[in-house]
Amino acid sequence: MGARAVLIAAVASGQGKTTVTAALARKLARAGRRVRVFKCGPDFIDPMVLGRASGAPVESLDLWMVGRERCHRLLAQAAREADDILIEGVMGLYDGTPSAADLAREFGVPVLAVIDAGAMAQTAGALVHGLRDYGPVTMAGVIANRVGSPGHAAMVKASLRDIPLFGTLPKQTRSLPERHLGLVLPDEVDEVDAILDELAGQLVFDEAAWNALPPVPFEEPVPEAPMPAALAGKTVAIARDAAFVFVYAANLDTLRKLGADIAWFSPLADEPVPRQADAVYLPGGYPELHAPRLAEAQAWRASIRAAHATGVPILAECGGMMALADTLDDGAGQWPMAGLLPGNVIVQQRLAGLGPQAMPTQHGTMRGHTFHYSRLETAAPVSDYTSKNPSGAQGEAVYRIGSLTASYFHGYFPSNPEAVAAMLSRNAP
pLDDT of residue 429: 45
Active site (annotated) includes residue 71: no
Whether the pLDDT of residue 7 is over 50: the answer is yes
What confidence tier does 193 reach under pLDDT thresholds 50, 70, 90?
A: confident
pLDDT of residue 190: 59
Q: For all residues of the chain together, what is the average pLDDT?
A: 94
Of 6, 74, 312, 318, the active-site residue reads 318
pLDDT digits over 249-275, tens only?
999 999 999 999 999 999 999 999 999
Range 152-170 average pLDDT: 96
Range 181-191 average pLDDT: 59
Fold match between domain 2-217 and domain 235-423: yes
Range 131-141 average pLDDT: 97
Whether the pLDDT of residue 31 is over 60: the answer is yes
pLDDT of residue 103: 98
Candidates 3.40.50.880, 3.90.1300.10, 3.40.50.1100, 3.40.50.300; CATH matching 235-423: 3.40.50.880
Range 302-320 average pLDDT: 98
pLDDT digits over 290-301, tens only?
999 999 999 999
Domain parsing of the chain, residue ranges: 2-217, 235-423
pLDDT of residue 275: 95
Whether the pLDDT of residue 180 is over 90: the answer is no
pLDDT of residue 106: 97
Task: Return the HEC string of 65-123.
Answer: HHHHHHHHHHHHHHHHHCCEEEEECCCCCCCCCCCHHHHHHHHCCCEEEEEEHHHCCCH
**Residue 113 forms beta bridges with which residues?**
9, 142
Residues 6+ apart with CB under 8 A from 56: 34, 35, 36, 37, 82
pLDDT of residue 221: 87
DSSP string computed for 50-70: HHHHHTS--EEE-IIIIIHHH
Q: Which of 145-154, 180-189, 237-246, 388-397 has the lowest mean pLDDT?
A: 180-189
Residues 6+ apart with CB under 8 A from 113: 9, 10, 93, 128, 131, 132, 139, 141, 142, 143
Question: CB 192: neighbour CB atoms within 10 A?
Answer: 21
pLDDT of residue 191: 80
What confidence tier does 173 reach under pLDDT thresholds 50, 70, 90?
A: confident
Whether the pLDDT of residue 232 is over 60: the answer is yes
Whether the pLDDT of residue 165 is over 60: the answer is yes
pLDDT digits over 316-359, tens only?
999 999 999 999 999 999 999 999 999 999 999 999 999 999 99
pLDDT digits over 48-84, tens only?
899 999 999 999 999 999 999 999 999 999 999 999 9
In angstroms, rounded to a whole number, what is the distance separating the alpha carbons of residues 370 and 390? 14
Residues 6+ apart with CB under 8 A from 362: 419, 422, 429
pLDDT of residue 188: 59
Fold of 2-217: Rossmann fold (3.40.50)
Among 228, 243, 311, residue whose Cα is nearest residue 277 = 311
